[in-house]
């Protein structure tokens, strides 16, 4: 089976889906009867020279058309798909984002598969209508995501939660939507559940969209634990948001902010090794690969009972789950995490064992089998 995988992000690994795009290159080594090629705009000339199966997609969009950039990419990528097809007669075409494969889902003469990695577009409904650009963007994208999902031969979600959400929202047949847990390579990650919890206690927050991650809630909860001092390291938000997020720390004397902005995975892993608590109590999260990374490192995890997070934290056996948006619940969870070292250790050990189910080998096998089923039915 020959596979073409399209992803607008590749070299800059910022989330689980992009990490997945890098991992699936191993299909070429692990499954000799299959061959995969990746089309992406996000790869440097230096790295491209070392990647035999990755092809660069030049994306040049005029300044006046930038607002339409994501839609224009439909046609740019599909043009390159057809060019690649002349030398690589593929069997199935996969898009890391179902939305990006909308045009392909309508015109391709080969089966197409779309991945939906979060529920953000589905959050815009007529019951929460707002005269805000974000609502209109999400609602518009939702219509295209619905269209592409209905036309793709298969839609891949990254959790049981998201699988059901997609089925219900877009009214798709149960067999049309399947689940593939994203994973991380565990090789080389040292598990260390013994943290210092000194003064200050080091709390790590990693989320580019710091409002979705509920950073203000974290700050308020730490403020309420005035008997302790904290260092809160924030990784992910772009520099132009720094002034805004610093405003959350005004009159919070027991919490010191260490803002680091976007960072490579190596720095995130370094922070997971050196901090005491990983806390990102998002109000929406389809799965949460960062929580798997945290569990792999042995850092205590405090998160929220939303989306696919309970699937990673084994409904609270591997960490602490709070009710989304509830500052008192977060305060109580953090306090218990800080003061009960034996419970902290037990949850960390549970977590390390539990995440073995998200193995890389199993993920790759499942992915290949999903695509084989699509090709065989087409």
Kindly tell me if the per-residue pLDDT of 13 is higher than 80.
no
Kindly tell me if the per-residue pLDDT of 246 is higher than 70.
yes
Q: For residue range 23-54, list pLDDT tens digits in order.
A: 999 999 999 999 999 999 999 888 888 898 99
Extended beta strands in the chain, E state = 2-6, 35-40, 54-56, 92-95, 112-115, 154-157, 177-179, 201-206, 230-235, 255-261, 277-279, 300-304, 320-322
Strands 92-95 and 201-206, sheet pairing? unpaired
Average pLDDT over residues 249-277: 94
- Nearest Cα residue to 304 out of 295, 296, 313: 313
Element (H, E) at 84: helix 69-85
Kindly tell me if the per-residue pLDDT of 348 is higher than 90.
yes
Contact 113, 153 (CB under 8 A): yes
Residue 144 confidence (pLDDT): 95
Length of the chain as a residue count: 378
Strands 154-157 and 112-115, sheet pairing? parallel
Residue 134 confidence (pLDDT): 86
Average pLDDT over residues 280-291: 88
Give the three-state DSSP class for 49.
Answer: coil
Kindly tell me if the per-residue pLDDT of 356 is higher than 70.
yes
CATH topology of domain 2-183+359-377: Rossmann fold (3.40.50)
Token representation of residue 168: 């219900």
**How sure is the predictor about 14, in pLDDT bands with cuts at 50, 70 and 90?**
low
Backbone angles phi, psi at 40, to 5 degrees: -155, 150
Which residues are CB-neighbours of 142 under 8 A, at least 6 positions away? Answer: 121, 122, 124
Contact 262, 208 (CB under 8 A): yes
DSSP state of 87: T
Kindly tell me if the per-residue pLDDT of 286 is higher than 70.
yes
**How sure is the predictor about 361, in pLDDT bands with cuts at 50, 70 and 90?**
confident
Q: How far apart are CA 2 and CA 80, in angstroms?
A: 16
Q: How far apart are CA 217 and CA 211, in angstroms?
A: 9
Contact 186, 355 (CB under 8 A): yes
- Nearest Cα residue to 203 out of 252, 275, 290, 259: 275
Average pLDDT over residues 262-272: 91
Kindly tell me if the per-residue pLDDT of 374 is higher than 90.
yes
Which residues are CB-neighbours of 185 under 8 A, at least 6 positions away? Answer: 23, 360
Q: Indicate the range of 20-29, 121-130, 131-140, 354-363 predicted with least confidence.
A: 354-363
Contact 109, 128 (CB under 8 A): no
Kindly tell me if the per-residue pLDDT of 94 is higher than 80.
yes
Kindly tell me if the per-residue pLDDT of 182 is higher than 90.
no
Contact 218, 241 (CB under 8 A): no
Average pLDDT over residues 185-191: 85
Contact 94, 112 (CB under 8 A): yes
Backbone angles phi, psi at 233, to 5 degrees: -95, 125
Residue 266 confidence (pLDDT): 87
Dihedral sign computed on CA atoms, order 179, 190, 199, 349 = positive
Average pLDDT over residues 182-211: 90
Do the domains at 2-183+359-377 and 201-357 have one common CATH topology?
A: yes
**For the chain, domain boundaries:** 2-183+359-377, 201-357
Q: For residue range 287-337, list pLDDT tens digits in order.
A: 888 899 999 999 999 999 998 899 999 999 999 999 999 999 999 999 999
CATH topology of domain 201-357: Rossmann fold (3.40.50)
Q: For residue range 218-231, list pLDDT tens digits in order.
A: 999 999 999 999 99
- Across all residues in the chain, what is the average pLDDT? 93
**How sure is the predictor about 375, in pLDDT bands with cuts at 50, 70 and 90?**
very high
Residue 12 confidence (pLDDT): 74
């Amino acid at each position: 089976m020959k596979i073409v995988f399209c992803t607008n992000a590749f070299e800059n690994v910022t989330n689980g889906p992009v990490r997945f795009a890098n991992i699936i290159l191993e299909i070429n080594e692990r499954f000799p009867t299959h061959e995969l090629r990746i089309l992406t705009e996000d790869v440097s000339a230096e790295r491209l020279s070392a990647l035999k199966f990755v092809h660069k997609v030049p994306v040049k969009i005029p300044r006046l058309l930038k607002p339409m950039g994501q839609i224009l990419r439909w046609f740019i990528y599909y043009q390159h798909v057809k060019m690649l097809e002349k030398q690589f007669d593929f069997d199935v075409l996969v898009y890391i984002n179902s939305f990006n494969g909308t045009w392909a889902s309508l015109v391709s003469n080969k089966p197409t598969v779309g991945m939906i990695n979060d529920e953000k577009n589905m959050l815009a409904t007529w019951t929460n209508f707002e005269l805000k650009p974000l609502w209109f963007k999400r609602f518009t994208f939702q219509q295209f995501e619905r269209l592409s999902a209905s036309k793709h031969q298969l839609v891949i979600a990254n959790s049981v939660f998201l699988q059901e959400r997609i089925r219900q929202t877009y009214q798709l047949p149960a067999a049309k939507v399947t689940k593939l847990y994203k994973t991380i390579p565990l090789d080389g990650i040292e598990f260390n559940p013994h943290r210092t919890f000194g003064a200050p206690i080091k709390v790590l927050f990693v989320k580019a969209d710091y409002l979705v991650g509920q950073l203000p809630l974290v700050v308020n909860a730490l403020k309420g634990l005035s008997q302790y001092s904290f260092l809160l390291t924030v990784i992910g938000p772009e520099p132009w948001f720094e002034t805004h997020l610093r405003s959350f720390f005004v009159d919070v004397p027991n919490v010191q902010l260490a803002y680091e902005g976007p960072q490579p995975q190596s720095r995130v892993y370094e922070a997971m090794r050196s901090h005491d608590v990983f806390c990102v109590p998002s109000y929406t999260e389809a799965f949460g690969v960062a929580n798997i990374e945290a569990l792999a490192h042995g850092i205590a995890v405090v998160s929220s009972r939303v989306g696919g997070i309970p699937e990673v934290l084994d409904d609270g056996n591997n960490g602490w789950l709070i009710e989304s948006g509830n500052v008192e619940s977060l305060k109580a969870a953090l306090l218990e995490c800080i003061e009960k070292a034996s419970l902290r250790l037990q949850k960390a050990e549970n977590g390390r064992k539990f995440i073995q189910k998200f193995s890389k080998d199993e993920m790759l096998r499942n992915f290949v089998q999903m695509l084989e089923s699509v090709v065989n039915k087409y």
